[in-house]
């Protein structure tokens, strides 16, 4: 397996540092528009693991927005798999480039949605991933696999949902992805600052678009951003966090393979974060449409959202100033195999102190990058396989969770995942 990793930002860097400990792959080509960033990632691998491990990595420059360039780089390096670790606006180009190069493909976020033109808060327009799923027949005809949404959310959350469907429930009322954290970032003086732990570009897209909900009798529909607030109790010391509806891929993916009466995604954003996002929207700073601005070099066209991203700390750099834990999971309600009501939360918690110590990577991007590495190992072993455009729900969840939780000394990843029975009251 030769993997073209597109993007050496926070998640791409973490992906390389995680896979460096594994032996199932032949080579990883770490590519980025900024070649120096790809080279820094490989240098970090060499510093921790030595030159022999680093020799299995090569840096390359790439334009992720050009499918022809993506295909050319993949062919040049004889890639068998393309791992997309950049912002979702680049999905169409990388997706097309991978197929053109006759590679399998993985990503952690789907192609972008477009709100309904006249009724955005009740009706769907173009949904997340629609353009990818429309090309499913092309991937099947080529005998190639596109595994979409294989990060943590989406990704691990979808694996949990499949596990619950196969092993824990006879009938599922709701698959409710719930994401929360108690992370704090401080500046050099110790003052808490606003510094998102994930790409602000992607966060704006998710949080300000109309949230998506699925109901079996109604299908997919939308609602207002930040709607239906609820307090959710997260495990391992994180505690109660207010969660709100957010647009996310799980609501698109889960109903395609799993039988549930309702599917939702709620994110624990917090009052300050929601206030910032609302202000950005009010001022038009969430827009991706370029505006003309004055500069010392003369007028320039700049997308306001790109300016916001440039002004905030790079998520890849905030790890040393971050404390706390992040939790990803699925809250499942319904009827158990014994025909009695059941309510279960399946989850994975990651501590920033541990990921910084073990991988020199902050916990949110590390948790996101872990899951495609596990998926690639299952594909390399032939445990997972297929063709077409598929989500994580299409594969055996137990095999994934067994490999994830097995001790590293036994060939696993040593990552505990939890399950709490929360009987409905």
Q: Hey, what's the torsion of the CAs at 314, 43, 405, 333, to 10 degrees?
A: 20
Q: Hey, what's the torsion of the CAs at 352, 273, 130, 99, to 10 degrees?
A: -40
Of 98, 88, 110, 96, nearest in space to 5 by CA: 98
Task: Determine if residue 226 is left, alpha or beta; phi over 0 gives left, psi from -120 to 50 gives alpha, anything else beta.
Answer: left
- Does the pTM exceed 0.75? yes
Q: What is the pLDDT of residue 262?
A: 98
All structural domains of the chain with their residue ranges: 2-117+126-150+367-410, 156-365
Q: Which two tokens stand for residue 139?
A: 């991937």
Per-residue tens of pLDDT for the chain, all 425 residues: 999 999 999 999 999 999 999 999 999 999 999 999 999 999 999 999 999 999 999 999 999 999 999 999 999 999 999 999 999 999 999 999 999 999 999 999 999 999 999 999 999 999 999 999 999 999 999 999 999 999 999 999 999 999 999 999 999 999 999 999 998 888 888 887 777 766 777 788 778 889 999 999 999 999 999 899 999 999 999 999 999 999 999 999 999 999 999 999 999 987 778 888 888 888 888 888 888 888 777 788 888 888 888 888 777 777 788 899 999 999 999 999 999 999 999 999 999 999 999 999 999 999 999 999 999 999 999 999 999 999 999 999 999 999 999 999 999 999 999 999 988 54
For residue 236, how many other CB atoms are within 10 A of its CB? 14
Q: Which CATH topology does 2-117+126-150+367-410 take?
A: Rossmann fold (3.40.50)
How does strand 104-106 pair with strand 81-84?
A: parallel
Q: What is the pLDDT of residue 142?
A: 98
Q: What is the pLDDT of residue 198?
A: 67
Superfamily of 156-365 according to CATH: Dihydrodipicolinate Reductase; domain 2 (3.30.360.10)
d(CA 207, CA 204): 5
Q: What is the pLDDT of residue 425?
A: 46
d(CA 14, CA 235): 24
Of 318, 319, 293, 216, nearest in space to 260 by CA: 216
Q: Hey, what's the torsion of the CAs at 281, 286, 292, 293, to 10 degrees?
A: 80
Q: What is the pLDDT of residue 271?
A: 77
In the block, residue with structure tokens 């300016």: 307
């Amino acid at each position: 397996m030769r993997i073209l990793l597109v993007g050496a930002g926070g998640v791409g860097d973490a992906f390389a540092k995680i896979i460096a400990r594994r032996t199932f792959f032949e080579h990883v080509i770490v590519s980025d528009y900024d070649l120096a960033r790809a080279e820094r990632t490989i240098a970090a691998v060499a510093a921790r693991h030595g030159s022999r491990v680093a020799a299995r990595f090569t840096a390359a420059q790439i334009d992720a927005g050009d499918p022809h360039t993506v295909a050319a780089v993949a062919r040049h390096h004889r890639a068998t798999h393309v791992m997309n670790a950049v912002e979702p606006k680049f999905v169409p180009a990388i997706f097309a480039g991978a197929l053109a190069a006759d590679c399998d493909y993985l990503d952690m976020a789907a192609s972008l949605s477009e709100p309904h033109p006249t009724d955005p808060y009740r009706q769907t327009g173009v949904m997340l991933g629609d353009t990818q799923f429309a090309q499913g027949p092309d991937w099947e005809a080529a005998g190639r696999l596109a595994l979409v949404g294989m990060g943590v959310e989406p990704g691990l959350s979808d694996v949990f949902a499949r596990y619950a469907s196969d092993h824990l429930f006879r009938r599922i009322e709701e698959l409710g992805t719930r994401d929360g954290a108690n992370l704090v970032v401080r500046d050099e003086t110790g003052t808490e600052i606003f510094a998102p732990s994930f790409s602000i570009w992607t966060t704006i897209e998710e949080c300000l678009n109309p949230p998506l909900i699925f109901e079996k009798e109604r299908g997919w529909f939308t609602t207002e951003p930040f709607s239906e607030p609820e307090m959710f109790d997260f495990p391992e010391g994180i505690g109660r966090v207010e969660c709100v509806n957010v647009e996310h891929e799980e609501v698109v993916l889960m109903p395609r393979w799993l039988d549930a009466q309702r599917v939702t995604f709620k994110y624990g954003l917090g009052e300050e974060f929601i206030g910032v996002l609302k202000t950005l929207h009010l001022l038009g700073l969430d827009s991706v449409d370029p505006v003309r601005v004055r500069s010392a070099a003369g007028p320039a066209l700049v997308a306001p959202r790109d300016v916001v991203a440039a002004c905030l700390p790079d998520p890849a750099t905030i790890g040393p100033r971050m404390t706390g834990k992040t939790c990803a999971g699925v809250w499942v309600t319904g009827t158990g195999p014994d025909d009695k009501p059941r309510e279960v939360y399946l989850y994975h918690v990651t501590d920033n102190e541990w990921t910084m110590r073990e991988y020199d990577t902050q916990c949110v991007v590390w948790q996101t990058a872990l899951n495609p590495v596990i998926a690639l190992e299952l594909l390399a072993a032939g445990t997972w396989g297929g063709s077409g455009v598929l989500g994580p729900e299409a594969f055996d969840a137990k095999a994934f969770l067994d490999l994830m939780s097995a001790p590293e000394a036994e060939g696993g990843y040593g990552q505990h995942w939890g399950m709490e029975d929360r009987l409905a009251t």
